[in-house]
């Protein structure tokens, strides 16, 4: 239905949640927004929040591969 004209409120919610939520929770939030078809421009939200949504991926891969990071 996309009640909001822009997705700034969703971007702000993801950024605010990043201060206290785990990255996996942020990804679940983003996927829920995608599946609920609430985002008018999903690529715009992704481009403005990807660094919060992917913050732990490099660390997790290094842990899995037992490769110490710098």
What is the pLDDT averaged over residues 55-64? Answer: 84
Distance of CA 60 to the CA centre of its chain: 16
Residues 21 and 60 sit within 8 Å (Cβ to Cβ): no
pLDDT digits (tens, 9 = 90+) for 31-50: 999 999 989 999 999 999 99
Assign 15 a pLDDT band (cuts: 50, 70, 90). very high
Cβ count within 10 A of residue 56:
14
Tokens of 21: 């939520």
Per-domain residue ranges of the chain: 8-65
């Amino acid at each position: 239905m996309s009640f909001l004209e822009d997705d700034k409120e969703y971007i702000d919610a993801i950024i605010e949640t990043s201060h206290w939520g785990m990255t996996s929770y942020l990804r679940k939030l983003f996927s829920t927004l995608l599946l609920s078809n609430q985002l008018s421009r999903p690529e715009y939200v992704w481009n403005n929040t990807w660094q919060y949504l992917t913050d732990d991926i490099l660390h997790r891969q290094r842990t899995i591969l037992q490769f110490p990071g710098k």
